[in-house]
Structures are given as C-alpha cells and as structure tokens.
Structure 1
C-alpha cells in the first residue's frame, strides 16, 4: 500500500506560484523549487511530475484566486463598484511576490518560443476578460453603464488598462495608486 504524502499539496502549489510569479519560468530552476518546497527531487517528481506540470498548476491557482477575488468583490459591492475597486486592490496587495500579472509575464516570456504554457496563460487571461465582460453586462442591466457600450470591448480595454497598471506598479517613481484611481474614475463616465 502506498504511503500517504506528508505534505499539503495546495500549500506547495501556493509556494511554487509565488516563486514562479516572482522569477518567471526561466528564472526558476528545479533546485529553486526543491528549496522553496523543501522537497527532494524524487518527492518533487512523484508529487508533480515536472516543472512544467507544476507551473501549469501554479498558473491555474493564480487565475482562480484572481477570479475569486473579483467575484467576491462583485457579490459584496455590485458589478460597477467591483470593477472600480479591483485596480486599487491590485496595486495595494503588498503580500504579492510581484505587482505585474503572472499570466502576462508568462505570456510575454514564453510566447516567442511557442511554448504551451504561453497558450495556457492566454486562456486564463481570456477567462478573466470574460469575467470582466459579465460584470460590465450586469452593470449595463443595472443602468450603471449606458446600453450603447459593448461589454466585451469594455472588458478588453479594462483588462489592458489593468495589465498596464500592473507593469507601472513595478516601476520606480510611478504613482500606481493614482493610475488605479484614474481607471476607476473612468468607469463613472460610461
């Protein structure tokens, strides 16, 4: 009978997510992962199979967490207030290993190599864009946004603004909180 692992798989995925988010695919070695997860190579491979498989799990966790935060915000505040609050949340998260989006970082790093993880990152970004579009549609239904706007076009622009915000938050001398406020304020004009 196989032994039950003596580790919390979700906790290990969280730690791997943070390491990959900070250092990227190429910047994270197997030795780095083994050290961060406190696992020997055999245990690592038995638990996750490969660095690529663990990276995919880490991206999935990152994307799920982002969608859950957005959903929670919308349930507590309504769609338009959630969309206005989300940019501020992004730049105020001091516990995050990086301000830039893990998915966009992965897409930029691996797209030129046509790496399958780049396509996975893009799929996660498309799901988030669809979540934004749903909120814009709900805001339209509630009368908070004019019916003349295309919710999908608003979602694409909003996501683009967020990705730019997150890159700006990594830069020295940039007031990312002011940019987040500008994004939020722009929604009042829709």
Structure 2
C-alpha cells in the first residue's frame, strides 16, 4: 500500500481556489500553483491530475461555499432576509481574494475559447440561480413577496444584480455597500 499523502487535500483546494479566483485560469501557472500549494510537480499531478482538474475542484468549492452561506442565512433569518443580507455579505468580505465572482470571471475568460471550464462555471451559476428561485418561492409562501412574480425571473434578475455588484466592487471609487443596500431595499418592494 502506498504511503498516505502528508497534506490536507481540502486545504490545498482552498488555496488553489483563492489563487485562481484572484488571477484567473490563464493568469495562474503550474509553477504558481506548486508554490502556493507547496507541492512538487509529481505530487501535484498525483493529487489533482491537471491544472484544469484542480480548477474544476476549486470552482466546485467556491460554488458550494456560496450556496452553503446562503442556506445558513436562510435557516437563521428566513428566505427574504437571507436574500436581503446576501449582497452586503458578498461584497463585505475583506478577506476574499477578489470581489468579482470567480464563476463569472471564469465564464468571461474562457467562454470565447469554448473551454469546458466555462461550461462548468455556467452550470454552477445556473445552480445558484435555481437556489435563488427556491428562496424567492419560499418568500412567496411566507407572504413576503407577492405571488404575481415569477420566482425564476426574480432569481435571474437578482443574480444579474449580484454579478454587477461584484464587478462594481472591484472598481475604485464605487460604494459597493451602498449598491448592496439598494439591492436589498428593492426586495422589500416586491
């Protein structure tokens, strides 16, 4: 039986996620990954197979963490309050490697090249949109949103607002927290 690796795979995926999130797929070399993960090339390939495979794991981690944060908010505060708090939460995290969404950055970077990772990023975005739609529907059942609204349409617009917010947060001189508050306030008018 081969010896067990002396690293925490999840921790390495988190470090890779942060590097990819900050620099993008093309801006991150194998040497960069080896340095950040503190692994040799052979260990890198044995653990992850390829840069693309690690990037896919990093995107999965990013997307899963986002859905879990939103789920936790909804369990604690209810669906409408979770949707209202989420915009400020995504731009208020000063420890994040970047303010812009890793998934949208990946989609924009790799879509023109028809790269399979762009398709995976889009699938993650669609899952998040479905999660938003579910919360909007729950808010309707709770009487917080008028039932005349289509939850899928609300989710699509909400996600679009969030993606725009996150790009705005990268710009100098833009008060992203004020925009986040505007998004939250707009939900009270539904």
TM (norm. structure 1) is: 1.00
Inter-partner Cα distance in structure 2 for 1:13 and 1:90: 20
Inter-partner Cα distance in structure 2 for 1:179 and 1:111: 28
1:145 deviation in Å? 0.2
Question: What CA deviation, in whole Å up to 9, does each residue of 1:55-98 have, x standing for no partner?
Answer: 00000000000000000000000000000000000111011000
Inter-partner Cα distance in structure 2 for 1:90 and 1:71: 14
* Aligned match of 1:151: 151
* Aligned match of 1:111: 111
* Aligned match of 2:130: 130
Tell me, which stretches of 5 or more residues in structure 1 are unaligned?
A: none
- Report the secondary structure of 2:188's partner residue: helix
* Aligned match of 2:121: 121
Write the mapping of 1:8-157 to structure 2, written as runs, cut at 5 A. Answer: 8-157=8-157
* Aligned match of 1:166: 166
1:2 deviation in Å? 0.6
- CA root-mean-square deviation: 0.3
Inter-partner Cα distance in structure 2 for 1:64 and 1:119: 17
1:36 deviation in Å? 0.2
* Aligned match of 2:5: 5
- Report the secondary structure of 1:100's partner residue: coil
Aligned pairs, number: 190
TM (norm. structure 2) is: 1.00
* Aligned match of 2:187: 187
